[in-house]
């Protein structure tokens, strides 16, 4: 179920969802109990309605199973374990037991229905659990909605033209790379002076409704003094409001919860956010010298410089590849007709932010800059989620069409490259990525890169000088597909994070 519900379809899955307009079928069972009856109906673009009828015999069997486990494990004063009478168990645990039975029946029936109907689900099911009744007799009835991978025709790959900018490792770029390296090696230290731009503050947070009632409390969080968002709400003057604060200071902010906020019940609500500043930290950026170079595994500063020049060339090569991949992706999206789900879940929107953070990590962007970029993306996360879903559908279909996969060695190489940029151990970083779902995101990004590189090999590639490319970026509609996902002209000053 993990792959089906992640919003990031597994490339090994069959991506063709069965489009039954109305189908009723009994689900096969391995036991001797009557099967569930499942009815599937269309409920909009890439959306299905499932109606599941669980026979009374199967409900009764679940009651017996749960109470058998209770009888074995329950500890009740005055009775030996395993000797508690049924009526005592029902009186003491009846309410919780019924909730357990209901939850297990819902989960098991849903999973069986999705598997039997060959539905490639991309989000958690929508259902009103409170309205689902556990009957005293007769069948248990479920009604729920799911979003699935839609059917679509692969885009025409003929006639795609790709511009390849010629990026060179200039001295200006090298100096920017050194500056970024120093930032990555820097440490945060308590500051005695008032907060300045790019400092970091820690604070407790109180959130209030318009009427002054408490909405939420956060004991401790940290933020960089820069423009961006706080709790998903954009504040244009956030940097100015935080500049100059000291421990013990209070900052009040007023804003409106955006419509892509994860908790839908807060959408559009005006709130007051009160920050209780606990501390201010300044980033100490070390001097790059022989001592620091040796501490980080180099013979001396010259050896570090040589490694950085190699790394710069590698990063520029990767940046050129990314630019070409972006153009291919834009062309594929433009050329593919695909009915997308009308609603994007909060989880999928959060997945977008997580994937964007991973992309920035792959490019060696300092963590403070990543926080800034992610804050800026939150306002557009719903549209980004739809675009990412469409991208995943197309990429996985093309991977299936051309038998493109990823290897463990490719994934480990990507992890090692990221670990090197941040001075981390690859094994520790891999554990962290696996723990919060980012490893799956990274695997999908590597697969996407392989697919896009294959399409590039089928396309016409035209080399272009960097100045001409920068001029083209001022009129991105000239590119195939009319979309520009690289963002800004490529100068050392404006793409510090890209050149390192």
pLDDT of residue 29: 59
What average pLDDT does the chain have? Answer: 82
- Taking only the tens place, the pLDDT of each residue in 350-404 is 666 666 666 677 666 666 666 666 655 555 556 677 788 889 889 999 999 999 9
| Domain locations along the chain | 17-147, 161-183+288-478, 188-281
Q: Give the three-class secondary structure for 114.
A: helix
Joined together, the tokens standing for residue 477 give 């509609």
Q: What number is the average pLDDT over the span 163-176? A: 94
Mean pLDDT of 428-450: 89
Of 307, 97, 279, 291, residue with least CA distance to 181: 307
DSSP states of 331-395 as a string?
HHHHH------S---HHHHHHHHHHHHHHHHHTT--HHHHHHHHHHHGGGHHHHHHHHHHHHHHH
Dihedral of CA atoms 442, 446, 448, 453 in degrees, nearest 10, equals: 160
Decide if pLDDT at 23 tops 70: no
Cβ-based neighbour number of residue 27 at 10 Å: 16
Residue in 181, 168, 172, 482 with CA at minimum distance from that of residue 331 = 482
Tell me which fold the domain 17-147 belongs to: Alpha-Beta Plaits (3.30.70)
The pLDDT of residue 493 is 37
Class assignment of domain 188-281? alpha beta
Record the tokens describing residue 412, joined without a space.
């480990």
Residue 402, token pair as written in the block: 């051309």
CATH topology of domain 161-183+288-478: Trigger factor, domain 2 (1.10.3120)
Residue 21's pLDDT is: 44
**What is d(CA 382, CA 57) in angstroms, rounded to the nearest whole number?**
44
Percent of the chain with pLDDT over 70: 79
Q: How far apart are the first and last CA of the chain?
A: 39
pLDDT attached to residue 56: 94
Give the pLDDT confidence of 272-283 residue by residue, as tens digits.
999 999 999 999
Strands 161-166 vs 460-465: parallel, antiparallel or unpaired: parallel
Instruction: Note the pLDDT tens digit of each residue in 275-313.
Output: 999 999 999 999 999 999 999 889 999 999 999 999 899
Looking at mean pLDDT, say which of 208-222, 248-262, 391-405 comes out highest.
Answer: 391-405
d(CA 311, CA 371): 24
Predicted local confidence at residue 491, as pLDDT: 42
- The answer on pLDDT for 498 being more than 50 is no
Question: Each residue of 136-156: pLDDT tens digit?
Answer: 899 999 999 998 888 899 999
């Amino acid at each position: 179920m993990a792959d089906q519900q992640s919003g990031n379809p597994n490339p090994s899955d069959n991506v063709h969802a069965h489009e039954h307009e109305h189908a009723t079928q009994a689900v096969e069972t391995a036991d001797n109990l009557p099967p569930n009856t499942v009815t599937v109906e269309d409920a909009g673009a890439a959306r299905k309605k499932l109606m599941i009828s669980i026979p009374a015999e199967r409900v009764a069997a679940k009651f017996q199973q749960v109470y058998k486990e209770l009888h074995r494990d329950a500890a009740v004063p005055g009775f030996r374990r395993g000797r508690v009478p049924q009526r005592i168990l029902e009186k003491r645990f009846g309410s919780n037991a019924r909730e357990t039975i209901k939850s297990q029946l819902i989960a098991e029936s849903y999973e069986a229905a999705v598997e039997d109907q060959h539905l490639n689900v991309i989000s958690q099911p929508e259902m009103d659990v409170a309205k689902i009744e556990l009957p005293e007799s007769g069948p248990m009835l479920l009604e729920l909605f799911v979003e699935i991978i839609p059917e679509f025709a692969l885009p025409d790959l003929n006639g795609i033209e790709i511009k390849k900018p010629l990026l060179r490792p200039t001295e200006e770029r090298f100096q920017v790379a050194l500056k970024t390296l120093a930032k990555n090696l820097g440490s945060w230290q308590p500051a005695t002076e008032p907060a300045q731009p790019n400092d970091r503050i820690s604070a407790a947070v109180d959130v209030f409704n318009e009427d002054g009632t408490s909405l939420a409390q956060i004991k401790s969080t940290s933020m960089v003094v820069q423009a961006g968002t706080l709790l998903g709400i954009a504040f244009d003057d956030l940097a100015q409001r935080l500049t100059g604060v000291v421990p013990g200071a209070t900052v009040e902010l007023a804003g409106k919860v955006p419509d892509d906020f994860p908790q839908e019940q807060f959408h559009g609500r005006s709130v007051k956010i009160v920050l209780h500043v606990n501390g201010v930290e300044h980033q100490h950026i070390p001097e790059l010298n022989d001592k620091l170079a040796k501490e980080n595994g180099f013979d001396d500063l010259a050896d570090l410089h040589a490694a950085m020049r190699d790394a710069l060339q590698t990063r520029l090569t990767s940046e050129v590849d990314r630019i070409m991949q972006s153009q291919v992706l834009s062309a594929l999206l433009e050329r593919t007709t695909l009915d997308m789900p009308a609603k994007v879940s909060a989880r999928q929107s959060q997945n977008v932010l997580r994937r964007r953070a991973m992309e920035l990590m792959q490019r060696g962007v300092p963590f403070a800059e990543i926080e800034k970029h992610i804050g800026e993306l939150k306002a557009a996360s719903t549209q980004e989620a739809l675009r990412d879903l469409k991208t995943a559908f197309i990429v996985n279909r093309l991977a299936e069409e051309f038998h493109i996969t990823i290897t463990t060695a490719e994934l480990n190489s990507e992890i090692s490259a990221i670990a090197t940029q941040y001075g981390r151990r690859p094994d520790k970083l891999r554990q962290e990525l696996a723990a919060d779902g980012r490893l799956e995101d990274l695997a999908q990004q590597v697969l996407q890169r392989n697919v896009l590189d294959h399409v590039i090999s089928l396309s016409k590639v035209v080399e272009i000088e960097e100045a001409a490319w920068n001029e083209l970026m001022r009129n991105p509609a000239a590119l195939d597909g009319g979309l520009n996902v690289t963002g800004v002209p490529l100068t050392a000053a404006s793409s510090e994070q890209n050149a390192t």
